[in-house]
Amino acid sequence: MPSGTKRVSRTVRTSPIAPQVIPNLNEPCSHRYSPAGSNLPTLQAVEQPAAPKHFPFPSTPVDDDFFFEFLMCFFTVTSAGLQYMHLYRSVWWLPHSYTNQALNFYLIDKYLVMFIVLVLSRRLIYMISCKVLERFVLNSQETVQFYLRSFLFGALCVLLFVCAYYVMQNHPVVNILYLCYPVFIYLILFGFNICPFFELVNWTRGAPPLHACSCSAVDIRREVENLKSNFNCRMKQILFSAILNAYYAGFIPCCFAQPALHYDTFWATQHVIFIFISGFVSLTIHILSLRYCDILHRSALHLGSWEKENGRNMMMSNTTWRDDIFWPGGTLVRHGRDIYKAQGDCNSSEPGNLGLRRFYYIFKNPTDPLSSILLLHVFMILYQLVLLVRSVLWHNIVSLTFILFFNYYVLYKLFRDYLVSSKLYMEEREMQKKIYMQ
């Protein structure tokens, strides 16, 4: 081996060891590493990023829970009646018609109707009972609500069992399974907890959605995990309630129709889809309100995200990720065998964690998912308007008119939230840019 190579090796071994610091990984490699005998600058520590600044959230009106439950009960029960109108309409307007009623009521199973109404109105009954008890009972509210839920659940099960028994007298036993399918879905989603059966949001009081501008990266990740769990519970409630409403209000009447009954399958199926989408959008903007989404957005700003780097950037970092540090945007770190680049102005996330990454990209700007829901709702309303213009049958016109009026109210609230959200977060982004440019 040449002697010059040995001298370089000895020089490297005898060079002093610099203290362990976090390098500024935004600089080129030649500025971060100083070989022996060079005059290049030594490693520099990364400055802690400034904490994100939050805009005060404006006061936007939100429907009261009681009013919302009344509105949803009215919509779903009326939609069930409209589905029966699609199935059992008569020709009462003809001069020599055999009936003067708009529907053939003698073909409708009244016990099945009672079963459907009980299921769809369960939450409104619970809300009314809570309002009545608040005036007369002075004990602990949670204890009273527990006994009230237990009593109503038992009474409701008895009434539903009685209705199902009489339905079995006129229909095959196999059809009764249609009434029980949502029970199995409920057990899969919520287990044996009866609170979600009567309440939309209050049953998550054990882990309230809160945000604290913590200075600890570990606390931020713990907070995000709590918010993720709360958000997932709310999404399960939204999907289950929307499916349940469409199932009992639109699908069950078709399942128990007489075999000899002929009806427009396209309109009946379309009516079920309208019930589901309308209920889904209405539940979403109520359960995932703007103020709630703002809490998740604030936590997402503190969380940040990591993007996996490939190619030439693989050799540009020798800094190992640490879980107790806030990393500034653009920082390159090594985690495991991969290199990641920090996204966002402030980053406390864990590289490679897909759950945290999804949380950041969904809630870094809540206007994006809100705009998707708005487009879906506008598209459905435009489609319903086209159907209404082209409809010539009275029952189709009545059905579309009712659903359109309900959707107009939902569209008003949705568009208002979109305007507030887009304006608020646009101003927030401009403020963040000014802060980090200073």
- What confidence score (pLDDT) does residue 44 get? 44
80 in a structural domain: yes
pLDDT digits (tens, 9 = 90+) for 137-173: 756 577 777 888 889 999 999 999 999 999 988 888 8
- What confidence score (pLDDT) does residue 175 get? 84
- What confidence score (pLDDT) does residue 410 get? 96
pLDDT level of residue 7 (50, 70, 90 thresholds): very low
pLDDT level of residue 346 (50, 70, 90 thresholds): confident
Please provide the average confidence, as pLDDT, over all residues in the chain.
83
Which of 61-65, 284-288, 400-404 bottoms out in mean pLDDT, i.e. has the lowest?
61-65
109 in a structural domain: yes
Mean pLDDT of 246-252: 96
400 in a structural domain: yes
For 275, the token pair is 């019930």
Task: Count CA atoms within 13 Å of residue 104 on its CB side.
Answer: 12
Which of 76-85, 222-231, 334-343 bottoms out in mean pLDDT, i.e. has the lowest?
334-343
Q: What is the tally of structural domains in the chain?
A: 1
SS3 string, the chain, reads CCHHHHHHHHHHHCCCCCCCCCECCCCCHHHHCCCCCCCCCCCCECCCCCCCCCCCCCCCCCCCHHHHHHHHHHHHHHHHHHHHHHHHECCCCCCCCCCCCCECHHHCCHHHHHHHHHHHCHHHHHHHHHHHHHHHCCCCHHHHHHHHHHHHHHHHHHHHHHHHHHHHCCCCHHHHHHHHHHHHHHHHHHCCCCHHHHCCCHHHCCCCCCCCCCCCHHHHHHHHHHHHHHHHHHHHHHHHHHHHHHHHHHHHHHHCCCCCCCCCHHHHHHHHHHHHHHHHHHHHHHHCCHHHHHHHHHHHHHHCEEEEECHHHHHCCCCECCCCCCEECCCEEEECCEEEEEECCEECCCCCCHHHHHHHHHHCCCHHHHHHHHHHHHHHHHHHHHHHHHCCCHHHHHHHHHHHHHHHHHHHHHHHHHHHHHHHHHHHHHHHHHHHHC
- What confidence score (pLDDT) does residue 431 get? 79
Mean pLDDT of 358-369: 92
- What confidence score (pLDDT) does residue 207 get? 62
pLDDT level of residue 61 (50, 70, 90 thresholds): confident
Residue 43 Ramachandran class (φ > 0 left, ψ -120 to 50 alpha, else beta): beta
pLDDT level of residue 133 (50, 70, 90 thresholds): confident
User: Whole-angstrom Cα distance, residue 438 to residue 418?
Assistant: 31
pLDDT digits (tens, 9 = 90+) for 295-309: 999 999 989 888 888
Rg (CA), the chain: 30
Residue type at position 289: S
pLDDT digits (tens, 9 = 90+) for 41-54: 333 455 677 777 77
pLDDT level of residue 92 (50, 70, 90 thresholds): confident
Query: Is a pLDDT exceeding 90 seen at residue 38?
Result: no
Whose tokens are 């490693």? That residue is 43
- What confidence score (pLDDT) does residue 337 get? 82
User: Whole-angstrom Cα distance, residue 215 to residue 211?
Assistant: 12
Number of CB atoms found within 10 A of residue 244's CB: 20
pLDDT digits (tens, 9 = 90+) for 187-246: 999 988 888 898 888 655 556 777 777 888 888 999 999 999 999 999 999 999 999 999
345 in a structural domain: no
User: Whole-angstrom Cα distance, residue 236 to residue 284?
Assistant: 11
For 222, the token pair is 């713990």
Residue type at position 207: A
User: Whole-angstrom Cα distance, residue 225 to residue 110?
Assistant: 47
| Backbone phi and psi for residue 55, each to the nearest 5 degrees, phi listed first | -75, 140
Most confident of 174-188, 272-286, 313-327: 272-286
49 in a structural domain: no
Which of 10-24, 142-156, 312-326, 369-383 bottoms out in mean pLDDT, i.e. has the lowest?
10-24
The model's pTM:
0.84
- What confidence score (pLDDT) does residue 390 get? 95
327 in a structural domain: no
SS3 string, 377-388, reads HHHHHHHHHHHH
Provide the percentage of residues in the chain whose pLDDT is more than 90. 47
342 in a structural domain: no
Query: Is a pLDDT exceeding 70 seen at residue 20?
Result: no
For 88, the token pair is 């059992």
- What confidence score (pLDDT) does residue 242 get? 96
Output the CA angle 292-300-214, nearest 5 degrees.
95
- What confidence score (pLDDT) does residue 204 get? 53
Range of the domain at 186: 67-300+353-437
Which residues have a Cβ under 8 Å from the Cβ of 417 and sit 6 or more positions away?
60, 285, 290, 370
3 in a structural domain: no
